[in-house]
Structure 1
Amino acid sequence: MDAQTSRRVDAEIAKLIAESSKLNAESHKFNAEVAKLIAEATKFHRERAWYPVVLMTTAVGATAAVVKLFF
C-alpha cells in the first residue's frame, strides 16, 4: 500500500469514526426523549386511575348535601 492510499484509508476511517460518534449522540438524545415520554405516560395513567374516585367522592358529597338540605 502506497502513502496516498494509506492517507485515503486513514481519512475514511476518521470519517467513519465521526459518523459513528454523531449516531451515538443522536441515539442518546432519542433515548432521553423516549424516557421523558414514558414518564409522562405513566403520570397520565396514574392520574386517570384516580379520576373515578374523585367523581364518586364528589357525587356522594353532593348527594349528602342535597339530602341534608331537604330532609
Structure 2
Amino acid sequence: MTNDEREKIRSNINALMAETMKISAEGRWYPFVATGGVFLAALGFCKLLSVL
C-alpha cells in the first residue's frame, strides 16, 4: 500500500468521523427544536382562537 493510498484512507476516515459528530450533535438538539415548534404552534393556535 502506497503512502498516497494511506493518506486517502485517512482522509476518508476523518470525513466519516466529522459527519458522525455532526449527526450526533443534530440528534442532541432535535428534541428541543421539535418541542419548541410544537409549543409555538399551540401558542399561535391559542392566539388565533382568542382573536376570533
Report the count of equivalent residues.
50
Please identify runs of 4+ aligned residues in structure 1 that moved more than 4 A: none
Q: Percent of pairs identical after alignment?
A: 30
Displacement after TM superposition at 1:52 (Å): 1.0
Q: Deviations over 1:6-62 (max 9, x none)?
A: xxxxxxxxxxxxxxxx53321121011100110011111111211111110111101
TM (normalized to structure 2)?
0.77
- Runs of 5+ consecutive residues of structure 1 not aligned to the other structure: 1-21
What is the CA RMSD across the aligned residues, in angstroms? Answer: 1.4
Task: Using structure 1 for the length normalisation, give the TM-score.
Answer: 0.60
Q: If you compute each CA radius of gyration, which structure gives the higher value, 1 or 2?
A: 1
